[in-house]
Amino acid sequence: MTEEKAANDAVVATERPRPHVAVVRIDRPASRNALDMNVRRQLAEAFRGLGADDEVRAVVVTGTGKAFAAGADLRDMAEASAVEIMARRTHLLWGAIADCPKPVIAAVNGFALGGGCELAMHADIIVAGESARFGQPEIKVGIMPGAGGTQRLIRAVGKFKAMKLLLTGAIITAREADAMGLVSEVVADDQVLARALALAEEIAALPPLAAQAIKEAALASEDMPLSAGLALERRAFQLLFATADQKEGMRAFLEKRTPKFEGR
């Protein structure tokens, strides 16, 4: 296989298994879904497209085979210079995932290490299989996390748990990750995708504008004082009263019927 052909191979697939639900799947099982530049570009393209698609209300991200994503593809960077790494501007590719306005659920089986763990932490909900393993082992190969690992991990689990993982490169089980607050729930390995899809379907049945407003307010407030976060929440709450879904939801509740939300 030529380098040009490899660069053009589609290794990130987008599926629509249920109404208003999309699945983004990394399909490199032979390399445990390692994240080379080709994968990162395709992930960014997929998330940009889904973020702008009004038919999509929730996104599930997962990997093919026995790994979610085993980390960066070291063959893709081992001999690179600092200038070459800088020129890749990978933060723009990760930003496409972080900026996705739709709720994102990571369905994690097997390894989620390094960039794979960072990818999972870009999600809003993480469903992990019993055999899932998480970690930021970059220190073991002479570097450090570069896609938000030092920032998102410490926000998720606190300073002392995060620093232990970051400074030792330790790999933890799904149950350990659950106990420290790194994942939302742990299920049997053969139920991971089904559970993630069920959550996505549940969210997709709810008013999408409200879901997006909740995600925006919750994530933006991480970098704000409490007073500013409360002001943002209050304004978003007030603006939702301009939506047809708010009227439909409250009328349906009062009329004791199932609401039909249209994202208006």
Please enumerate in sequence order all residues whose Cβ is within 8 A of that of 28, keeping only pairs 6 or more positions apart, or say none: 11, 34, 39, 64
- Which of the four pLDDT bands, split at 50, 70 and 90, describes residue 8? low
- The rounded distance, in Å, linking the Cα atoms of 48 and 66 is 27
pLDDT of residue 38: 93
pLDDT of residue 2: 38
- The rounded distance, in Å, linking the Cα atoms of 72 and 93 is 14
Token readout for 48 is: 């940009």
Q: How many CB atoms lie within 10 A of CB 117?
A: 34
Residue 6 in this model has a pLDDT that exceeds 80 = no
Distances (CA, A) of 49 to 8, 19, 22, 97, 162: 18, 17, 11, 11, 33
- Which of the four pLDDT bands, split at 50, 70 and 90, describes residue 5? very low
- The rounded distance, in Å, linking the Cα atoms of 48 and 24 is 12
Secondary element (H or E) of residue 59:
strand 58-63
Token readout for 15 is: 């599926």
| Tens-digit pLDDT profile for residues 94-135 | 999 999 999 999 999 999 999 999 999 999 999 999 999 999
Closest CA to 105 of 53, 152, 61, 68: 61
Q: Which CATH class is domain 3-204?
A: alpha beta
Ranges for all domains in the chain classified under CATH 3.90.226.10? 3-204
Closest CA to 194 of 183, 207, 185, 205: 185
pLDDT of residue 3: 40
Q: List phi, psi (to 5°) of 237.
A: -55, -45
| Tens-digit pLDDT profile for residues 124-167 | 999 999 999 999 999 999 999 999 999 999 999 999 999 999 99
Question: Does domain 208-254 sit in CATH 1.10.12?
Answer: yes
Ranges for all domains in the chain classified under CATH 1.10.12? 208-254
| Residues with catalytic roles | 72, 115, 118, 138
